[in-house]
Structure 1
Amino acid sequence: MIRNLLIILVLVCAFSCSSDDDSRTQPVNEISDPGFYGLQIGNSWVYKSYQWNSSTETYDNTGVVDSISIVGTEEINGNTYFKFRRLTTGNTSNAPLLSLNGEYFEHVRDSLGNLIYDDGSIKFTHSDLSERTITIQSWGTIFETLTANEAQMTVEAGAFTCNYSERYAKSPEGEQFPGLDRYYYADGIGLIYDTTSFVSTSYHTVERRLDSYNVQ
């Protein structure tokens, strides 16, 4: 049973909470091709978050800003991972559906079209259409599936042709809950747009849009 129907389908931007200053970070990018995800040291992206206003039925700017950049690479278990830094500002009320203020880091790499965390889990794929399991809870299981079609997405940073995936939850009996999140990525740019929902509602509560970027 969903606890008060307020279980979040997915947390926006799952960064590990640490102020890592690892000496293994490399000052130079040894990988020349940034690929689909724009993985190159120095690339940066700025996202703004918007929240659903039931009175006006629009998404209002929350003032929360995620400034993300690739600050280095690290060798982890024999693989080269890119170190992403996220600095979030504007969430003075610690709203749970929005990124929390502060500095956070994560390590990811591209493997055969899959954007992989250093624990081996997949953050996004632009090549595998199979349904994959994100997490299993007592009330149900969260899945994510890449869609077969491309989509046009227009945000503050411009218009992009995107691959996108859908994230949803199913009960132990296999019934899909109303909540649905989407993640849009553009070739050579990276993340363009994503959403955060409650499993009990058919509309998303928060959407995050690419506001500006600097990709080499």
Structure 2
Amino acid sequence: MKSIIHLLLAGLLVTAISCQRTDEPAAPSNNPEVQFFNLKVGSRWVYKTYSNSDFTAPNNPYFFTGRIDSVSIVGTVNVQGFTFAKERTKIIDPNSNMNGQVIYNYLRVNSKGHLVCYPTLENVTVTETGGHVRHPGKDFDYNYSSEVKTGPEVIGNLFYKLEKNKSISVEGAQYVASPYEGKFTPVPTQPNLLPKTQEISYTSGLGKVREICHQVSGKAFLETRLVSMNIMN
């Protein structure tokens, strides 16, 4: 699928900073925001991605794309007083040139309770509130907005905020999920584009359970679902 409205935006990371790395597990945290996301070394999650051709038709079938993501917390990284969980993602996708790729991201929960992500800690500035917000935790006051462009042309706006908890079914399991939703609104000059809603849902103490990403044009979307996990307590 092309022209996906991505959650992760470029240009967040600038300037150089030295860092010191360690694979030592972080000390257990009693911070409820940290426990909400569960970034403990050794935790593992497996996700499958499905495609659907029409988000406006509730009974439209889903099809497995062949992509499986194996995600794990493999260590910690300390950068001038900030401790990050080192997240490893192994992608299996026979239908993509990403098959076999391993991707690392660096995660922490900031003072506002937000789960933030850096794709690298090399040659970047790290601050208490810096990084891309994957999920705002329990902060209903947080929001994020961005223009969506094709080339220089603005075709819509994306507005993210945390919505109230809801019960969702994922691969036959029931979860009380905290959905961080991004609503895409086309500009008036784009009458052929449809409003649509992205979603990234976390369950307290477990991690991400579902993510929905749309194409900018058309009705097709991808849904990534948690299929198994091994959580370290």
- Shorter chain as normaliser: what TM range? 0.7 to 0.9
Deviations 1:80-121 (A, max 9, x none): 010000000024334xxxx76410000010123200123522
Q: Cα offset for 1:7? A: 2.8
**Which residue of 187, 190, 195 corresponds with 2:204?**
187
Is 2:86 the partner of 1:83? Answer: yes
Task: Identify, as 1 or 2, the structure richer in strand.
Answer: 1
Is 2:31 the partner of 1:30? Answer: no
Aligned twin of 2:183 = 168
Query: For the aligned residues, what is the CA RMSD?
Result: 2.9
**Which residue of 102, 113, 125 corresponds with 2:136?**
125
- Structure 2 unaligned regions, length at least 5: 11-18, 119-129
Assess if the C-alpha contact under 8 Å between 1:183 and 1:193 holds in 2.
yes
Q: Cα offset for 1:62? A: 1.7
- Structure 1 unaligned regions, length at least 5: 1-5, 15-21
Assess if the C-alpha contact under 8 Å between 1:9 and 1:179 holds in 2.
no
Q: Which has the larger radius of gyration?
A: 2
Which AA in structure 2 matches 1:159? Q
Q: Distance in 2 between matches of 1:123 and 1:174?
A: 30
Aligned twin of 1:103 = 102
Aligned residues: 196
Deviations 1:141-188 (A, max 9, x none): 4321111x2111111272110110111334567999523211111000
Aligned twin of 1:209 = 225
Q: Distance in 2 between matches of 1:185 and 1:23?
A: 30
For 1:35, what is the secondary structure of its paired residue?
A: helix
Q: Distance in 1 between matches of 2:220 and 2:207?
A: 21
Q: Measured at CA, do residues 200 and 77 of structure 1 come closer, stay the same or move farther in structure 2, by a change above 3 Å?
A: farther
Is 2:174 the partner of 1:159? Answer: yes
Which AA in structure 2 matches 1:66? D
Q: Measured at CA, do residues 164 and 11 of structure 1 come closer, stay the same or move farther in structure 2, by a change above 3 Å?
A: closer
For 1:24, what is the secondary structure of its paired residue?
A: strand
Q: Cα offset for 1:204? A: 4.9
Alignment of 1:33-48 (within 5 A): 33=30, 35-48=35-48
Q: Distance in 1 between matches of 2:78 and 2:172?
A: 32
Q: Cα offset for 1:53? A: 5.0
Deviations 1:22-81 (A, max 9, x none): 971323222344510111000000000111156x93111122100000001111242101
Q: Distance in 2 between matches of 1:150 and 1:66?
A: 25
Which AA in structure 2 matches 1:47? Y
Q: Measured at CA, do residues 101 and 181 of structure 1 come closer, stay the same or move farther in structure 2, by a change above 3 Å?
A: farther
Q: Distance in 1 between matches of 2:139 and 2:148?
A: 21
Which AA in structure 1 matches 2:176? T
Percent of aligned pairs with the same residue? 27
TM-score by structure 1 length? 0.78
- Stretch moving more, 101-110 or 26-35: 26-35
